[in-house]
Amino acid sequence: MRIGLFGGTFNPIHFGHLRTILEVRERFGLSRIYLIPSAIPPHKSEADIASPSDRLEMIRRAVGNDSDFVVSDVELMRTGPSYTIDTLSFFADALSKTDPCFLIVGLDAFLEIHTWKDFRGILTRLPLIVMGRPGAYDRGRFEDMPLAVADYLDFLAPGYQYDRQQSVFVHPGYQSVYPIGVTSLDISSSAIRSLVQRGRSIRFLVPEAVSEFISSKGLYQ
């Protein structure tokens, strides 16, 4: 099997998340994508973040019985900040060594990876799929996204070269980095929380089951 790992705060999960990982799964022929909510996001304030258990439940409701997407509570089971390098170590032990595995990140998160714990260890462990989305880079066009990634990789780990035919950055000492454009659903969790706070509808921004859960639990009010 080919596996994808997609972590985040998911506060809350929305159709922007779901559509992009569906496209990634199809583009890379992934058998399964694990959605991994963080318990304590290292780079975000805890203000206005729903509890880990509520965010986990919203993801479960969002994906329902779709076997292509699996919800993992691995970061909720650990104490302390949720570091990606620790999660990669867990999956390295849990998954078959013969199954190709990819770390999936948005471009905005990728452009901060130098601030992550042991970012060089992350680059060593798994190839990265970097998704572009509206507002995530200055040039503003998906076809220019490799240029933004190239600029950052030159700062991050000099030596990456872009294989234009394969649309991938390769390095002699680190894993490959695949920049891809995804459908432009300009939806953000912060905008959804703001709508809830103002008593506005969030229909068609999140799955109905997620909207109902937010309402029933009184989240983000």
Separation between Cα atoms, residue 22 and residue 69, nearest integer Å: 9
Q: Give me the CATH number covering residue 104.
A: 3.40.50.620
What is the b/e burial string over 29-48, where b = at least 16 CB atoms within 10 angstroms of the residue's CB? ebebbbbbbbbbbeeeeeee
Q: Which domain holds residue 170?
A: 3-187
Separation between Cα atoms, residue 118 and residue 86, nearest integer Å: 10
Domain-embedded: residue 197? no
Separation between Cα atoms, residue 207 and residue 143, nearest integer Å: 30
Would you say residue 133 has pLDDT above 80? no
Domain-embedded: residue 55? yes
Model confidence pLDDT, tens digit, residues 49-81: 999 999 999 999 999 999 999 999 999 999 999
Domain-embedded: residue 135? yes
Quote the number of domains for the chain. Answer: 1
Predicted pLDDT of residue 142: 54
Domain-embedded: residue 88? yes
In the predicted model, what is the mean pLDDT of the chain?
A: 92
Domain-embedded: residue 157? yes
Predicted pLDDT of residue 73: 97
Model confidence pLDDT, tens digit, residues 150-205: 999 999 999 999 999 999 999 999 999 999 988 878 899 999 999 999 999 999 99
Separation between Cα atoms, residue 13 and residue 83, nearest integer Å: 20
Domain-embedded: residue 58? yes
Locus of tokens 């506060």: 11
Would you say residue 21 has pLDDT above 60? yes
Domain-embedded: residue 194? no
Mean pLDDT to the nearest integer, 40-46? 73
Q: What is the pTM of this model?
A: 0.93
SS3 217: helix
Domain-embedded: residue 198? no
